[in-house]
Homo-oligomer: A and B are copies of this chain.
Amino acid sequence: MMQQKRALLRAGTTVDEMIRTLADDIVNGILPPGEKLDELGLADRFGVSRTPVREALGQLSAMGLAERRPNRGCVVAIITDQRLTDMFEAMAELESACARLAALRMSAGERRALDALHQSAATLVHDGAQDAYSSFNLQFHGLIYEGCHSSYLRDLVSTTRSRLAPFRRAQFRMLGRLRKSWEEHDAIVTAILRGDGEAAAIATRAHVITVSAASAAFVSDTRTSLPQETP
């Protein structure tokens, strides 16, 4: 019946739109791990039929954000503690590799930009501006990803970061973490500016592992306090 021209503006396909929205909701924790992704419900929500919803779910599961059980529906990916640890660890290795390459390959301009950004964040630390620092932190790591000049490595690190995002809510709540974070960044920047790849790799690995440990502890805490799932 309702098969008329879809409003004239139709940037990208409907499915792409849905994928982006759902992926954002998962990454931002609006759809928590284990949440059921009902085809009919989502079709209603987006005002489309089940066909495009099914396609979107298929792709989300291919991306690792959702999990599909044949004939048994689709849920937001449930990550075990072991898997989460492995993901954080891989993140450290990936970022470390990026930093090593960035130290070797960043252009003079890129180095200047990284240093400038880093120095400018000092005031945020002093003011204890957690939200602003969090946003700076994203940019900082982003510059290093770009600095490695390897599109594939950048993609790997970005998708891994997305998958971990739902579990990173704790970030800078810990007292004194802001200052420590900045100091760790300082070691990274120094190494990169010196062009010392190995030092940059080591400093970055240590930094990311520290952050990961905090996040993992927070998640583990949250999990044991609320039993959730399988009642």
Contacts and interface: CB of A to CB of B under 8 A. Distances in A.
Interface of A: 12-13, 15-16, 51, 54-55, 58-59, 61-63, 70-71, 82-83, 86-87, 89-90, 93-94, 96-97, 101, 150-153, 156, 160
Identical chains in the assembly: 2
Contacts of A97: 90, 93-94, 96-97
Contact of A153 (B59, B90, B150): B90
Contacts of A82: 151
A86 B150 contact: yes
A86 B156 contact: no
Contact of A89 (B55, B70, B90, B153): B153
Nearest to A15: B58
Contacts of A101: 89, 93
A59 B19 CA distance: 12
